[in-house]
Amino acid sequence: MKKFLTVTGFALCLLVAGEVKAQSKFGYISSQELVSVMPETRKADTALQELRNALVQNYTDKQNAFYAAVEKFNKDSATLSASVKTVKKNELTKMGQELNAEEERIQQQLQQRQQELIGPINKKAYDAVQAVAKEGGYTYVFEKEALLVAPPGDDILPAVAKKLNIKLPQGNQPASGGAAPKK
């Protein structure tokens, strides 16, 4: 009887393990590729480029004013008293420090704006991947670029693009049902 229960338990474990494996469905997607073809991304890139151009123009104006002040100081320094020279040098030093700080502010402002613009786009893409995974019965969806070895799975990029009403460029429409790429 004990031997019968052991064999029955072992067979039951194999059956359950086989059933769990049969229920697992794997998919993969390149979220970077998905986000890059979303129209919102192009709009965000355009907005960022316009902001970058405005900030760079403002910086260039300040830089030109600094160079003009340095040139004026160098030109007039022969006629200035020692105390006026000291005051002017301090002013130029302060302008130079402000110019350096402006570079850092520009970078921070651009990064902050990029996060504000890209965050909702990434969330929309993530939500679409979640919906397609649920609708398609995928147990696991992997990031295509993150895996060196992956179980066989489906590229769900076309399904997610369809869910988002995005037409993929011809080169981005992989055949579904293939194995995940091995790098």
pLDDT in tens, 100-146: 999 999 999 999 999 999 999 999 999 999 999 999 999 999 998 88
Confidence band for 35, pLDDT divided at 50, 70 and 90: very high
Q: Are 132 and 160 in contact (CB under 8 A)?
A: yes
At 63-106, the pLDDT tens digits run 999 999 999 988 988 888 889 889 989 999 999 999 999 999 99
Tell whether the model's pLDDT for residue 158 goes beyond 50.
Answer: yes
Which sequence spans correspond to the domains of the chain? 22-172
Confidence band for 21, pLDDT divided at 50, 70 and 90: low
Question: Which two three-digit tokens encode residue 128?
Answer: 């679409």
pLDDT of 1 reads 44
CA–CA distance, 127 with 110 (Å, rounded to integer): 26
Global pTM reads 0.66
Q: Which residues pair with 29 in a beta bridge?
A: 143
Tell whether the model's pLDDT for residue 37 goes beyond 80.
Answer: yes
Q: Going along the chain, which residue ranges are E strands?
A: 26-29, 140-143, 154-155
Confidence band for 173, pLDDT divided at 50, 70 and 90: low
CA-closest candidate to residue 160, choices 20, 30, 13 = 30
Whole-angstrom CA distances from 150 to 24, 108, 147, 182 are 13, 38, 6, 7
